[in-house]
Amino acid sequence: MAANFLALSCIRRDTRAYGNLSPRQHYPSMPTKYPEGVSQQEKKVEGSEYRALFSVVGMTCSACAGSVEKAVKRLPGIREAAVDVLNGRAQVTFYPSFVNEESIREAIEDVGFQAALVENEKSERTSQVCRIQINGMTCTSCSSTVESALRSVPGVHKAQVALATEEAEIQYDPRIMRTDQLLSTIKDTGFKAVLMSTGEDMSNIQLKVDGLRIDHSIEILENSLLALPGVKAIETDPLLQKLSISYKSDLTGPRSFIEVIESTGSGRFKAEIFPQGEAGGRDSHRQEEINQYYKSFLWSLVFTIPVFLLSMVFMYIPGIKDGLDLKILNMMSIGQLLRWILSTPVQFLIGRRFYMGAYKALRHGSANMDVLIALGTNAAYFYSVYSVLRAATSPNFEGTDFFETSSMLISFILLGKYLEVLAKGKTSEAIAKLMNLAPETAILLTLDSEGNIMSEKEIDSRLIQKSDVLKIIPGAKVASDGFVIWGQSHVNESMITGEARPVAKRKGDKVIGGTVNENGVLHIRATRVGSECALSQIVRLVESAQMAKAPVQKVADRISKYFVPLVIVLSFGTWLTWFLAGKFGAYPKSWIPSSMDSFQLALQFGISVMVIACPCALGLATPTAVMVGTGVGASQGVLIKGGQALESAHKVNCIVFDKTGTLTVGKPVVVSTRLLKNMVLRDFYELVAATEVNSEHPLAKATVEYAKKIRGDEENPTWPEARDFTSITGHGVKATVRNREVIIGNKSLMSKYHIVVPLEAEEMLAEIEEMAQTGILVSVDQELMGAIAISDPLKPGAQEVISILQSMKVRSVMVTGDNWGTANSIAKQVGIETVVAEAKPEQKAERVKEFQALGYTVAMVGDGINDSPALVAADVGMAIGAGTDIAIEAADIVLMKSNLEDVITAIDLSRKTFSRIRLNYVWALGYNLLGIPIAAGALFPGAGFRLPPWIAGAAMAASSVSVVCCSLLLRYYRRPKKLDTFEIREITIG
């Protein structure tokens, strides 16, 4: 239904009979873009590209072609795309390592057209996408290691790993490999992996089956379920008594599964939805990680606090100090032995995670934070062991141990990681809130063949299947996407669209899952359930946005690649410099503390350098801010599709607005009719409506609606037959009605058919255009009969939006296909100085490029379909009025509320988010650029200030926490105060 709606929408918006559009066989091609990771060499390799030809049904004009082309070009790995409107063909050249034919076909169908693969110059390939939760990554080095390992697996077309969300999205060929191989690959790199979802058009549900045992009953159940239509795969976990079923929701559903399970085995099985908390979702994994770090930190304190007291406190208390200094073997004291015993569990048991992480990272040729921690703590621990053993075997050696350094270092790092994962969990709260909008239960109605209610039953909302009839009582949430089949009410859709006002709903109207029914009772028929519903699509879109890396993150990735090796070199260099300086007397011996020698002093400086350096903060600077920013945007009704859009939007200093449906309401209405000849108005509109009813243009629809009013209260009037109907693109329409030739359109169309336009009509048109209305001329049998004035009113507050943008130093431009008079009048009303009128779609794109050539970063705001060429050409494309189909719209930013003020919110939010990213880099780089020299002893010669390793470790842990907390402050983002008063004004007007 969504696809049909989009196709109709495209026809309605794009067949601009009055918009001066001309037919164009091929859509203007955009600059070639290669996917990230495609080398110049690969581009030259013969046979590295695939070329596929698709048949595309439903395209009517060049804007439709533009919609298809943009959807295809937004996919990764697209080399070129050419769309032929007249022949209904799309030829796509692509890199098979990044995208496949099925993904391209689905991208075309997602914008409302039917597509089928006609031919392919290479062998057929299939592709599947899965998402995997990865636990244990600490920095960009970790995510890069996993990403590289996945990409090297045969059959993997694309792999993207996000550090902040701790997820991987992998596109692979299921004929070559299975998901368990992907999980094994990730585990081999040293991280825990859990499969979250698999398949592109599949739903997945987990059922708890009481009575499930490890015997032939499992096989019986699986065979029974696989016999159902649409069931594709089943995974069984006998220990948890859990069945995971992948299925096609349009063929079957969870209630059918439960019915089959409970009817199998003489009724000894009982099935229910698996409890959410135990299903292994994102929240449970995050909570498990938080609990692990918390327990590890508490256990480390059990041993570290005594070590700290023995080293830092008791040594200064008379009596206790004497007891600790007692020698038990040569020069080894009781205090040394106790510190050794207490620090060993911290080093090897509690700190085992760092050893494992370091080993697996080094095994795959990379180095991460675990390597630095393992090296630093080992240096302190094993030197201390050496000192103790030397003291035990020597009658005169007095060594100093650093057991407190290693144990306190590990404790502080664990505390930092605990605070970090705690904070990181809050960055995804926006997604959690969206997911929690879905109600837990629903009321299922059973109807007889005549539509009468037989019974009603409360069920788990996850058991809803397509075509179910649901009852929505006042105050309850709508359980799934669908349409009203009975009842009237108002529904609050603010949690989905951000629009505060309740929307009236009656029979035939669509409803969105998660919205709140306010007053009346509604009966709805479910059309999209589970992962297909709008709420799930929004969640997936936000998740995908958070997976995508911003270009600025590439800088951090490059730095992180060399960061750890560089730190190790600096650490060794620091130790060597201080050691040699002490050996050759380059500094006074008075600088050396009484409790250590020159070697130990140099060692402490080296360890401090190693542990204060933090690659984690650098890696978290961008993704955490993007996560919070996109999440906040979603809650404000602004969907920003990833870091690329976010980074481009903050630079925008010129916005190109379409007129119809963007600056104006987009629903034209007839405001006046002026006849030039004696003719009954009803008869006049009979001819007009009979002709215009064949057109899908908005102005045509407006005249037909007005003609209905002239005829009376007929709901479905019958108009005279129109023969030889012709749509003259960009000018108007022509047909023969009741043996009379009717021509409706603009002045240039009249000139084309040699119809005289008298001075009176010229004056009428000028007057109409001065009032920001569109004038349409009507000719009957080569004689001008009259003019119709159609108005598309301005959106409330359009003038204020332009004014606020000017205060933000953003230039506003209006580009429209309408006539110059109407365009100038509208522009004058809203305060736009630069106007481009009578522009065809490709000309809009050319205008955008002209502004880019002048040095502007350009955003294009349109309806996402008829402005496709300009949206593609712009640095940022903003689709306005996307409604419930936001997840399948091809735009960089989607404004769900269809309100102009959200353009300001999008730009302001992107600016705030990007300033937060910059601040994060200041925190991350500042810690390292200032901390490393201080840890290396830069202040020691002059001020005598030395940074002990355990304090350096605490600073390192604090850097990651500070970066995440800095990003979290974005949660308190509030749109500009001017918009708050603006909204009040708009409601007052409305």
pLDDT tens digits along 186-224:
888 878 787 776 654 566 777 888 877 656 677 778 888
Q: What is the pLDDT at residue 524?
A: 92
Fold topology of 128-281: Alpha-Beta Plaits (3.30.70)
Predicted confidence band at 7 (pLDDT cuts at 50, 70, 90)? very low
**What is the pLDDT at residue 577?**
93
Name the architecture of domain 449-530.
Distorted Sandwich (2.70)
Q: Which architecture does CATH list for 639-664+794-909?
A: 3-Layer(aba) Sandwich (3.40)
**Averaged pLDDT, 967-972:** 86
How do residues 813-828 score in pLDDT, each as one tens digit? 998 877 787 788 888 8
pLDDT-based confidence at 714, cuts 50/70/90? low
Which tens digits make up the pLDDT trace of 971-982?
A: 888 888 777 665
50-117 and 128-281 in the same fold: yes
pLDDT value for 865: 52
Of 111, 12, 16, residue with least CA distance to 57: 111
Q: Give the per-residue pLDDT at 431.
A: 65
Q: How far apart are CA 70 and CA 30, in angstroms?
A: 9
**Which pLDDT score, from 0 to 100, does residue 300 have?**
93
Look at residue 285 in the predicted model and tell me its pLDDT. Answer: 64
pLDDT at 266: 63
Domain spans, the chain: 50-117, 128-281, 282-434, 449-530, 551-624+911-972, 639-664+794-909, 669-791
Question: Taking the mean position of all CA atoms in its chain, how far away is CA 285?
Answer: 21
Q: Determine phi and psi for 744, rounding to 5 degrees.
A: -125, 125
**Which of 142, 185, 184 has its CA nearest to residue 163?**
142
The predicted structure's pLDDT at residue 282? 55
Active-site annotation holder among 14, 110, 401, 658: 658
Q: What six digits make up the tokens of 385?
A: 């062991």
At position 628, the amino acid (one-letter code) is: V
What's the pLDDT at 455? 87
User: Could you please report the per-residue DSSP string of 746-814?
Assistant: -HHHHHHTT----HHHHHHHHHHHHTT-EEEEEEETTEEEEEEEEE-PBPTTHHHHHHHHHHTT-EEEE
Q: What is the 3-state secondary structure (H, E, C) of 288-321?
A: HHHHHHHHHHHHHHHHHHHHHHHHHHHHHCCCHH
Q: Which residues pair with 491 in a beta bridge?
A: 503, 517
Q: CA-to-CA distance for 83 and 29, rounded, in angstroms?
A: 9
68 pLDDT tier (thresholds 50, 70, 90):
confident
Say whether 110 is catalytic: no
φ and ψ of 659, to 5 deg: -90, -65
Q: What's the whole-number mean pLDDT along residues 943-962?
A: 80
Task: Characterise 21 by phi-psi region: left (phi > 0), alpha (psi -120 to 50), beta (else).
Answer: beta
Q: Mark residue 847 as left, alpha or beta (left: phi above 0; alpha: psi -120 to 50; beta: remaining).
A: alpha
On the CB side of 153, CA atoms within 13 Å amount to 28
**What is the average per-residue pLDDT within 173-191?**
81
CATH number of 50-117: 3.30.70.100
Nearest-angstrom CA–CA distance, 370 and 372: 5
What's the confidence (pLDDT) of residue 424?
A: 67
Q: Contact, 823 vs 659, CB < 8 A?
A: yes
Least confident among 837-846, 851-860, 976-985:
976-985
- Quickly count: other Cβ atoms within 10 Å of residue 428's Cβ: 22
Task: Catalogue the E-assigned strands of 536-651.
Answer: 638-640
Q: How far apart are CA 835 and CA 813, in angstroms?
A: 6
349 pLDDT band, cuts 50/70/90, is very high
> pLDDT higher for 240 or 767?
767
Nearest to 12 by CA among 690, 657, 688, 695: 695
First CA to last CA distance, the chain: 31
Paired tokens of 532? 């297909």
Identify the DSSP state of 887: G
- Encoding tokens for residue 224? 């029974």
Which range, of 102-116, 551-565, 633-647, 727-741, averages the lowest pLDDT?
A: 551-565
Give the pLDDT confidence of 659-678 residue by residue, as tens digits. Answer: 877 788 777 888 889 888 88
pLDDT for residue 312: 79
Q: How confident is the model at residue 111 (pLDDT cuts 50, 70, 90)?
A: confident
Per DSSP (E only), the strands in 433-587 are 441-447, 453-460, 469-472, 481-486, 489-492, 503-505, 510-511, 516-517, 522-528
87 pLDDT tier (thresholds 50, 70, 90): low
For residue 207, the surrounding DSSP H or E stretch is strand 203-210
**Looking up tokens 């002239």, which residue turns up?**
710
Cα 536 from Cα 937, distance rounded (Å): 54
Q: What is the pLDDT of residue 329?
A: 86
Closest CA to 673 of 746, 768, 779, 793: 768
pTM over 0.85: no
Tell me if 323 sits within 8 A of 334, measured CB to CB. Answer: yes
CATH fold, domain 669-791, is Calcium-transporting ATPase, cytoplasmic domain N (3.40.1110)
